[in-house]
Amino acid sequence: MRGLERFYRALLYLYPASFRNEYGRALTATFVARLRDISGPAGMLRGVLAAVGDVVPNAIAAHWEILRQDMRYAGRSLRTSVGFTLTAILVIALGVGANTAAFSLADFVLLRPLPFHEPSRLVDVWESTPGYTQMEFSPANYRDMKAMTHSFAAMGAYSDRTMNLAGTGEPRHLTVGIMTPHAMPVLGVPPLLGRAITPDDSTNEQVVVLSYGLWQTQFGEDARIVGKAIRLDGEPYTVIGVMPASFAFPTREIDAWVPLLMREAFFADRSDNFLSVVARLRPGVTTQQAAADVAAVAARLEQLDPRANERTSAIVVDMRDEMSARSRMLVLALCGAALCILLLACANLASLLLARSAHRSRELAVRAALGAGRERIVRQLVTESMALALFGGIVGVAIAIAGVPVLARLVPDSLPVNGQPSVDPRVLLVAGALVVLTGLTFGVGPAIAAGRSKALDALRSGARGGARTQRLRSVLVTIEVAACVVLLVSSGLLIRAVLRIQGTDPGFRPEGVLTLRTELTGEKAALGAERVRFYDRVLQDVRALPGVERAAYMSGLPMVMGGGVWPTTLVGAPVVRDASNTVGLRFVTPQYFAAMGIPLRAGRDIADADRRESPSVAVVSESFAKRMWPNENPIGKQFTIASIPRTIVGVVGNVRVRGLERPSEPQVYVPATQLPDGMMVFYAPKDLVIRSTVPAGTILPAVRRIIASADPDQPISDVQMLTDLVARQTSSRVTQLRLLGILATIALVIAGVGIHGLLAFAVSQRSREIGVRRALGEQARSIVGRVMREGLALATAGVAIGVLVAYLAARAMGALLAGVQPGDPLTLAGAAVLCFVTAVVGCVRPAVRAASVDPITVLRGD
C-alpha cells in the first residue's frame, strides 16, 4: 500500500508543478481511498493501471492548458511592448539569419568533404620552381614521379582543352577534361551510367564520358546514350559513360572527359609542362611524408636532366586546400562578420531582456503576491522567451534562405563540387540554440534571482538593479561597441582595398570593346594558311561594318588567360628557367593594340606586311624593354623566345594580364602569321576584339553572320564586353563588400539601440538616486554630464578593445587587403569615431531624461 502510494506520488510529477502543489495531496488521498475499495492483487493492478491511464492524459492536458494560457499572456504582454518585441525579434532574426547563411557557405566551400571516395586521401602534386610554386608536370617528369615515389596508392594526370560539339543543334563549345587512363579511378566515383575512363582505354582515344549537366542539356537525359557516337571537333567519339550530378573535376566548368594517351613523342621534352597530377595517398601515409617523398624524387630528376629540371622541386597539396588564399579569406571574413553580428545580437537580446525583467519586476511581484508560484512565473517567462526565439528564428530562416543564393556568388569556380550551397539545418540549429540559450539566461535568470529575494520587497520599493546587474550591463555595452568597431574596421579596410583595386589601371581602355571567341580546332587550327585565311576574311568584313573602329584577333585576352608564359634570352645565350626572365607570350593580328586601347609608346604596330616569310618581329611591353635594356632604346634589339630570335619593332604599355590584384610578367606580342604550322596550337588566336562607336548589340548579328559565312561549323562563345570582364575582376569583392557593408550597418544600428536602451534603463533604475541628488541641489547640467561620462567611458573601453581585435583580424585577412595596411589609421579612426558618435547619440536622450527627473515625484513614490 505504502509502495503504491509512493509510486502514485512519483507519477504526479508528470503534472505541472503548480497543479501538483495545489492538488497533489488531494489526488493522492483519492487514489488511496479508491485502493481501499479494491481487494486482491488483480484489483490492485487494475487500480494502478487506471491511475497511470488517468495521470498521463490529464497531465498532458494540464500542461497544454498552461501553455495556452502562457502563450495568450505572452502575446498580450509582447503586444503591449511592441518596441521591445520587434527589436528583440529583429535582433534574433539577424543573428540567426546572418550566421546560418554565412556558415552554410563556409561549410560548402571549406569544410564539407569533397564528393569523391575517401577524399581525405586525395592530393594534388605540383612541380615548383623559383617564381612558380605550383606548376604542371611534363609528361616525362610525371611518368618518373609516378614510378619512383612510394607514397601513393594511385596517381593520374589530366589537363583540359576545348572541343567543339556538333550535330546536336547549334555547335557548342565544350571544356573537356583530358585524363590519363589512371586519373578517374584515383577519384573513385562510380559513374551514373556506363563506366568511367579506365586503364582499359589505354589504346582507344575516341571515347568520351559526359558530365551530368551536358547529358541533361544536350542529350535530354537519354538513358541509352552509352554506346552512341557523338561528334567532337568533327571526329566520332563513343559515349562510354555519364558521371553523376555531384561530380565535378577538376573544376565545376568541365563538360566531358576524354582519355589522354601518352605518345612516345610527349616524353621527349621535359620542359613542356601541361599535366596536372592527382594522387591518392597510401593508407597511413601523411601529406608531409608524401611531400618529402616527391621532393626527394624531384631532386633525383634534376640530376637526371639538369637543364630542363634546373631548380625544379615538387610539392604535395591536400585537394581540400587547393583553393586560393583569397577565396578562403573571403568566406572566413564573412563568417567572422556574421559571428560579430551574433555576438551583438546575443548581447543586445541580453540587455533588452535584462531591462525588461527589471521593468517588470513590479508586475511579477504583484503576480507573486496574488498567489502565482515562482514556478508559474518562471514558466511564463520561459514561454515568452521561447516565443520570441521562435518568431526571431522563423524570420532568421527566411533571411538565411534569401541570403544563401546571394552568398553563392562567393563560391570559387575552382571548387571541384557541383551544385549550390543551401541552408544547412545543423548550422541553423546551432545559431538557434545560442539564441534560445541567451533568451533563457537573460530572460528567465533575473526572474529566478528576483524570486529568491523577497518578492514583496520589490513590490514595496520599486526595482533597483543591484551592483551585479550594473556590472553585467557595462560588460554588455562594451562588448557591443567592440563587436561594432571590429565590423566597421573590417568593412572599412575592404572598401579601401576595393577602391584601390578599382583604381588600378588595367593597361587598356575597355570601354566600347566587344570580344567573342571562335575556337578553330583540328586542321583549321593547326595549319597556318587555313587559319590566316579565316582571320583575314572575318577581320576584313568586320572592319567594314559601320561603327567599327578597329578589330583584331589574338590569343589569350588579359584577365582571361593569365599564363602562356615563356622564358626569353638574349640571342645565343642559354635558357635559364627563372621568374626573372619569363614573359607572357601572345600572338596577335594588326590593330590589336588600337582595338584594346593599349598605347603604342615607340616604333610600330604589328603590320599586315609581317607574314610568315618576312623577318621574325615582336612588339614588347615597356616593362620587358626596361628589364632587358634599361636606359637604352629597345627598337631593333633582338631576343630569343620559343627558340626563335626576334627583332623588336614596337613598344607598348604594360597590361595587367594576370588581373588587377596580381603582378603580371612583361608581355611579348608576335604576329599571328608567324605561328608555325602544327606547333603551339594552343596559341592560335581565338579571341576577336572589336572596338566600335555603336552599341555592341547593333553589330553583333552582323558579326555572327560574317563568322558563319567564313566557317559554318564554327561555334561562337564567350561573347562579352571588355568592361564586364574588368568588372568581374572585382565582382566577388564587391559582393562581399556589400554584404559586409550591410552587416556593419546592422551592427551599428544594433549597437546604437543597445547603448541607448541600456543607458535609458540605467537612468530609470536610478531615478530615485538622481531625484535625491536633485533635491540636495545638484545641477541638471552636472547630472547630464555624469550620465554622459558613464556611457562614454563604456564606449571608450569598447572602442579600445574593438580596435585591437580589428587590427588582429585585419592582419589575419591580409590576403584580401590588396596592400592596404591592417593598421590603416584613416579606417581605424573613422570606425572609432563612428562608433563613438553612435554612443553619444545613444546617451543623449537618457541623459536629458535624467536631468528632467522631478525630485518631488520620485521621492513621493516611496
Partner 1 sequence: MTPDIEALLPLPPATFHILLALVDQERHGYAIIQDVEERTDGELRMSAGTLYRSVARMVEQGLIAEVLKRPAARLDDERRRYYRITPFGTAVARAEMARLSQLVRLARARGLTPETT
**Site for partner 1, rule CB under 8 A:** 19, 22-23, 25-34, 50-51, 53-55, 57-59, 61-62, 65
Q: How far is the CB of 741 from partner 1 (least distance, A)?
A: 55
Q: Which is nearer to partner 1, 28 or 198 (CB)?
A: 28
Q: How far is the CB of 57 from partner 1 (least distance, A)?
A: 8
Q: Answer whether 100's CB lies under 8 Å from 397's CB.
A: yes
Q: How far is the CB of 58 from partner 1 (least distance, A)?
A: 3
CA neighbor of 396 nearest in space, from 831, 104, 734: 104
Q: How far is the CB of 372 from partner 1 (least distance, A)?
A: 13
CA 17 to chain centre: 49
Q: Which is nearer to partner 1, 8 or 116 (CB)?
A: 8
CA neighbor of 344 nearest in space, from 469, 476, 493: 476
CA neighbor of 163 nearest in space, from 252, 244, 258: 258
Q: Which is nearer to partner 1, 53 or 83 (CB)?
A: 53
Q: How far is the CB of 7 from partner 1 (least distance, A)?
A: 14
Cell of 225: 546514350
172-179/256-259 β-pairing: parallel
Q: Which is nearer to partner 1, 47 or 547 (CB)?
A: 47
CA neighbor of 408 nearest in space, from 111, 710, 109, 114: 109
Q: Is 829 helix (H, G, I), strand (E, B) or coil?
A: helix
Please tell me the distance from the alpha carbon of residue 401 to that of residue 391, in angstroms, as a whole number: 15
Q: Which is nearer to partner 1, 366 or 681 (CB)?
A: 366
Please tell me the distance from the alpha carbon of residue 24 to that of residue 17, in angstroms, as a whole number: 9
Q: How far is the CB of 32 from partner 1 (least distance, A)?
A: 8
CA neighbor of 660 nearest in space, from 529, 502, 448: 502
Q: Which is nearer to partner 1, 11 or 832 (CB)?
A: 11
Cell of 449: 534571482
Whole-angstrom CA distances from 132 to 141, 307, 443 are 17, 17, 58
Q: Which is nearer to partner 1, 29 or 529 (CB)?
A: 29
Please tell me the distance from the alpha carbon of residue 446 to that of residue 360, in angstroms, as a whole number: 11
Q: How far is the CB of 29 from partner 1 (least distance, A)?
A: 4
Please tell me the distance from the alpha carbon of residue 576 to that of residue 573, in angstroms, as a whole number: 9
Q: Which is nearer to partner 1, 65 or 457 (CB)?
A: 65
Q: Which is nearer to partner 1, 61 or 223 (CB)?
A: 61
Q: How far is the CB of 360 from partner 1 (least distance, A)?
A: 23
Q: Which is nearer to partner 1, 26 or 42 (CB)?
A: 26
Cis status, amide bond into 190, omega within 30 of 0? no
Q: Is 115 helix (H, G, I), strand (E, B) or coil?
A: coil
Whole-angstrom CA distances from 70 to 75, 77, 357, 380, 384 are 8, 10, 16, 5, 8
Number of H helices and E strands in the chain, helices first, is 24, 22
Q: How far is the CB of 375 from partner 1 (least distance, A)?
A: 15
Q: How far is the CB of 27 from partner 1 (least distance, A)?
A: 5
> At 421, which amino acid appears?
P
Q: Is 619 helix (H, G, I), strand (E, B) or coil?
A: strand
